[in-house]
A = this chain, B = another copy of it.
């Protein structure tokens, strides 16, 4: 297969990109000079050697920003080691940081499919449990926040993790919490769905 076809297929796998835009990307690259193209190719190639997966939270990070096999957040002694937020993916961390969270993270790598007997094949459950156990052993952990999306898959994963985490933490004083549900900023009461209304009522204060 020629490089144009190979690239169209590769770009079609990029998030949110269809065949037409994949083709436009290749046209765009062809309209660039060799130096610009090689610079992109070199950067893509360098991702592998410049990044690593954090041994604690399992996110990827730039090697020169972390400490050994640990990312900057996990290595930061000023973060609150008593709170561990379980998130689906790296991009969630950026957003939670903007919300002012100062605890630590664990990246699941996705959500558990709805009718799947072996969710551990899809999300880092075993890695999460061993992380929680070692944190408990270290005496620091006070709360695990299940920072999952308010979607069907997120809800399913939340219930699953709740059930699995409870026996592992019950003899300790660790609590498992979930993010508050209700009206999100900017939403009008008239257009909120019934479930959100019910949760906003339940979570009133």
Residues of chain A touching chain B, judged by Cβ–Cβ distance below 8 Å, are 2-4, 6-7, 10, 13-16, 21, 23-31, 34, 37-48, 50-51, 60, 62, 64, 87-92, 95-96, 98-101, 145, 147-151, 154, 177-205
Q: A47-B30, A182-B181 are in contact. Are A16 and B24 (CB under 8 A)?
A: yes
Contact of A40 (CB < 8 Å), options: B7, B21, B100: B7
Chain B residues, CB < 8 A from A205? 177-178, 180, 203
Chain A interface secondary structure, helix, strand, loop or mixed? helix
CA distance A96 to B37 in the complex (A): 28
A79 to chain B, nearest CB (A): 15
A-B contact list, 20 entries, CB within 8 Å: A13-B28, A24-B91, A30-B90, A38-B44, A41-B44, A95-B189, A95-B194, A96-B201, A98-B194, A99-B195, A101-B201, A145-B201, A145-B204, A149-B183, A179-B200, A180-B180, A181-B200, A182-B183, A182-B184, A183-B184
CA distance A62 to B177 in the complex (A): 46
